[in-house]
Amino acid sequence: MALAAPDDAAAPILTQRVIAELSLDELFAKLPENAKLPAGERIEQEILRRFNRSGSATADLLMSWADEAMGDNDYPLALDLLDQIIVVKPDFAEAWNKRATVYFMIDDYGASLSDIRQTLALEPRHFGALAGFGMILRAMDRNEEAIRVLKRALEINPRLDNVQETLEQLEKETAGHDI
CB 70 within 8 A of CB 98: yes
Q: What percent of the chain has pLDDT over 70?
A: 91
Query: pLDDT grade, residue 1 (50/70/90)?
Result: very low
Report the pLDDT averaged over residues 150-168: 96
Rounded to whole angstroms, the Cα distance separating 126 from 131 reads 9
Identity of the residue numbered 14: L
> Rounded mean pLDDT of the chain?
91
pLDDT digits (tens, 9 = 90+) for 63-91: 999 999 999 999 999 999 999 999 999 99
Per-residue pLDDT at 5: 40
Nearest to 123 by CA among 179, 173, 33, 54: 54
Asked which of 7-11, 64-68, 73-77, 95-99 is least confident by mean pLDDT, the reply is: 7-11
Is the separation of the CB atoms in 39 and 18 below 8 Å? Answer: no
Give the residue among 111, 113, 96, 114 at the shortest CA–CA distance from 59.
Answer: 96
